[in-house]
Amino acid sequence: MLSKCANPGCSASFRYFHQGQLFRWDTSGNGNGHPPEAEVFAKSSSRRLEFFWLCAECAPLMTLVCQKGTGVVTQPILRTKAAAAATSGASPRSAG
């Protein structure tokens, strides 16, 4: 069950689906988060789905990735200045 933001540095509590971003991840025990194709078809009942959530403050700044040997971790989203300005509602100034 979800209880808090997947960002270890954030203590936001999960309350509503419409706040933040919800991730569904297949964590089927092979170390990389994605089972081999043969395993998916042969043992569909062995699949394990886990849900992770990033709060509304963390979701625009990071995403979740699965690292072999570590599992699901946060990763910063790299954005250009123009994309950041467009997202925040500010318009980039043109040199003119």
Q: What is the pLDDT of residues 35-89, one digit of tens each?
A: 444 444 445 556 788 899 999 999 999 999 988 888 889 999 987 665 556 666 6
**How many domains does the chain contain in total?**
1
Judged against a pLDDT cut of 60, whether residue 90 lies above it is answered with: no
Q: How far apart are CA 96 and CA 86, in angstroms?
A: 20
Judged against a pLDDT cut of 50, whether residue 8 lies above it is answered with: yes
Domain membership flag for residue 78: yes
- pLDDT (0 to 100) of residue 29: 60
Domain membership flag for residue 93: no
Q: How far apart are CA 55 and CA 52, in angstroms?
A: 10
Domain membership flag for residue 55: yes
For residue 37, the enclosing domain spans 21-88
Domain membership flag for residue 12: no
Residue with tokens 């997947």: 6
* Whether this model's pTM surpasses 0.85: no
Domain membership flag for residue 83: yes
Domain membership flag for residue 42: yes
- pLDDT (0 to 100) of residue 37: 44
Q: How far apart are CA 74 and CA 53, in angstroms?
A: 11
Q: How far apart are CA 70 and CA 36, in angstroms?
A: 18
